[in-house]
């Protein structure tokens, strides 16, 4: 067992009905609230109207900002310019991963009131964010990105010179995360699939990561077990609160594992593709998952350069199989086949539906990082991943 570090985690309130504690937690920070939400779904729900009434009844002074796309620097800058004079005591983000990332970035940039792009990794100037922020509460309404547990906010800029980069600091971990699976019951089937496969990807990639450790492995194995039992159930029946609860926990655990162990090639591709094409992050990850794992396993078997990773593939395969006493390769191949089957049966779109063609492969591969993948894939192998995914 090697040495390792662990990042802080938020104060966590987990379970159906936990949204009821939100106003009392807000009150511990003050009366002035900036509420960041998606464009409509939460606000138009019973939970949204109940929260609005409760905040008004209890005398909170609150304003609301909507985020309807994956957050861009301009979205964050607009919110900061608009609400800096309001001088809120707390930022509360309620929504999917994009909303949580936006709220996280807004809370980090309000004290500075400067362009967020200057502080993005690999994009901005040499400025380092000092880590000051407005207290931040994260309330996810989907089960996927795990942003409620991480220290980074992912922002994108689409176009020829596009990027998908993080605003990151240890202090940006949410102060409080409220995980109420009941908020995910109305999540559309397509988002349940793509976000759930994103959580699956994050758990598997962090488990296989070259930077994993004994604690992240334990959390990843627990999360993979929840995905194995409940992702397909949540997809088939969105009202299944037990399955939704499992997936809420799996998503949260994936946020913890990726924050401490890093991710692999799927997310390396997602970072580059997400800057060039307007394709939802969960769709990118879930569409790439089958090919990335097949090519990674193929090279691991050829080179025998990381037998620990092959052992972990076997262990993950056993989690997703009811068979016992089978050869190791059976469990690996079964896992790869299951990933293929799930992406097809849950109608995960191919990358070509987002406008990607062979003409784009060279540029995508050039911008893609192999960091923390259990084995480094060469350019030709990465091109093959794209060919299979498109």
In 3D space, the residue among 70, 27, 95, 108 whose CA is nearest the CA of residue 270 turns out to be 70
**pLDDT tens digits for range 88-110:** 999 999 999 999 999 999 999 99
Contact 104, 155 (CB under 8 A): no
Contact 88, 33 (CB under 8 A): yes
Pairing of strands 176-179, 61-66: unpaired
Residue ranges of the chain whose pLDDT lies below 50: none
Which tokens go with 360? 């784009």
Q: Which residue's entry shows tokens 């407005």?
A: 134
Residues 6+ apart with CB under 8 A from 249: 14, 179, 223, 226
What pLDDT, on a 0 to 100 scale, did the predictor assign at position 126?
Answer: 65
Q: Which residue's entry shows tokens 């980069």?
A: 165
In 3D space, the residue among 84, 209, 79 whose CA is nearest the CA of residue 153 turns out to be 79
**pLDDT tens digits for range 25-40:** 999 999 999 999 998 7
Domains of the chain: 11-184 (3.40.50.1970), 189-389 (1.20.1090.10)
What pLDDT, on a 0 to 100 scale, did the predictor assign at position 156?
Answer: 93
Alpha helices in the chain, H assignment, sequence order: 22-27, 46-57, 73-83, 97-109, 189-208, 214-236, 241-261, 265-276, 281-303, 307-319, 328-345, 361-366, 379-389
How far apart CA 148 and CA 43 sit, in angstroms, is 20
Residues 6+ apart with CB under 8 A from 136: 90, 91, 92, 93, 103, 104, 107, 172, 174, 175, 176
């Amino acid at each position: 067992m090697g040495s390792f570090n662990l990042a802080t985690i938020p104060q966590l309130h987990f379970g159906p009905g936990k949204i009821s504690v939100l106003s009392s937690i807000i009150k511990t920070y003050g009366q002035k609230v900036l509420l960041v939400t998606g464009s409509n779904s939460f606000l138009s729900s019973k939970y949204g109207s109940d929260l609005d009434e409760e905040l008004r009844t209890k005398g909170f002074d609150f304003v609301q900002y909507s985020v309807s796309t994956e957050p861009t620097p301009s979205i964050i800058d607009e919110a900061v310019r608009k609400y800096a004079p309001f001088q809120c005591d707390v930022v509360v983000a309620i929504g999917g991963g994009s909303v949580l990332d936006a709220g996280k970035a807004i809370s980090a940039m309000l004290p500075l009131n400067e362009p967020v792009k200057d502080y993005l990794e690999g994009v901005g100037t040499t400025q380092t964010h000092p880590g000051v922020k407005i207290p931040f509460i994260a309330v996810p309404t989907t089960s996927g990105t795990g942003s409620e547990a991480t220290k980074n906010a992912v922002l994108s800029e689409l176009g020829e010179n596009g990027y998908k980069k993080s605003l990151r600091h240890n202090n940006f971990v949410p102060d409080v995360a409220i995980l109420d699976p009941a908020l995910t019951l109305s999540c559309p089937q397509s988002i349940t699939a793509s976000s759930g496969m994103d959580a699956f990807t994050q758990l598997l990639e962090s488990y296989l990561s070259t930077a994993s450790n004994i604690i992240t492995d334990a959390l990843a194995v627990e999360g993979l077990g929840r995905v194995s039992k409940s992702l397909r159930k949540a997809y088939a029946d969105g009202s299944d609160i037990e399955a939704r609860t499992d997936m809420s926990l799996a998503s949260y655990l994936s946020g913890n594992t990726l924050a401490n162990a890093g991710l692999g090639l799927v997310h390396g591709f997602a970072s580059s593709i997400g800057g060039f094409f307007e394709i939802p992050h969960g769709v990118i990850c879930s569409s790439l998952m089958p090919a990335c794992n097949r090519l990674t396993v193929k090279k691991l078997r050829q080179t025998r350069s990381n037998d620990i990773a092959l052992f972990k593939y076997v262990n993950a395969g056993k989690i997703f199989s009811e068979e016992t006493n089978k050869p190791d390769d059976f469990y690996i191949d079964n896992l790869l086949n299951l990933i293929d089957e799930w992406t097809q049966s849950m109608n995960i779109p191919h990358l070509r539906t987002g406008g990607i063609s062979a003409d784009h492969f060279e540029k995508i591969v050039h911008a893609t990082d192999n960091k923390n993948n259990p084995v480094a894939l060469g350019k030709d192998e990465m091109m093959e991943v794209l060919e299979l995914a498109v």
